[in-house]
Amino acid sequence: MTPPAPLRYATAEDLPALAALEIACNPHPWSQNQLQAALNAGNALWLLPHAQYGVAAMLVWQEMVDEAEILLLDTHPDCRRRGHARQLLAALQQHARAAAWTRLLLEVRAGNEAALALYRQCGFKECGRRRAYYADNGEDAVLMECLC
């Protein structure tokens, strides 16, 4: 299923812009090689194009039988608070219902209050924690799910 316009699937030509977006968004970003590996593995990588930055937002997810896990959700810092991440999540939720998946899963740093608030507003609920999961600072990972 193709994501609704203006979202589209990423291609190898998008990798430099996606890597730049990761660097702008994450303290420990995926490399261009990791993004390429995600594409090669068949993980879905949707993006929202942007004239100035190349990519305003991206969502990387993988299907696992009757559910999917969100691996990355990035919005360019200059494009935040404009509904781009919400648009990507809504498209994935619509896709999940059409594919008859049971749930969507993700993990997020416990201290990432903006992401936690977004996920909660989009119907995700905490379903567990990985204590001291992140090696850089010992922060917990919050596990979240959204039933489809």
Record the tokens describing residue 29, joined without a space.
């970003």
**DSSP code string of 57-74:** EEEEEEEETTEEEEEEEE
Q: In whole angstroms, give the CA distance from residue 115 to residue 108.
A: 7
Q: Which residues are catalytic?
A: 107, 119
Distances (CA, A) of 59 to 71, 128, 137: 8, 22, 25
Q: In whole angstroms, give the CA distance from residue 41 to residue 35.
A: 10
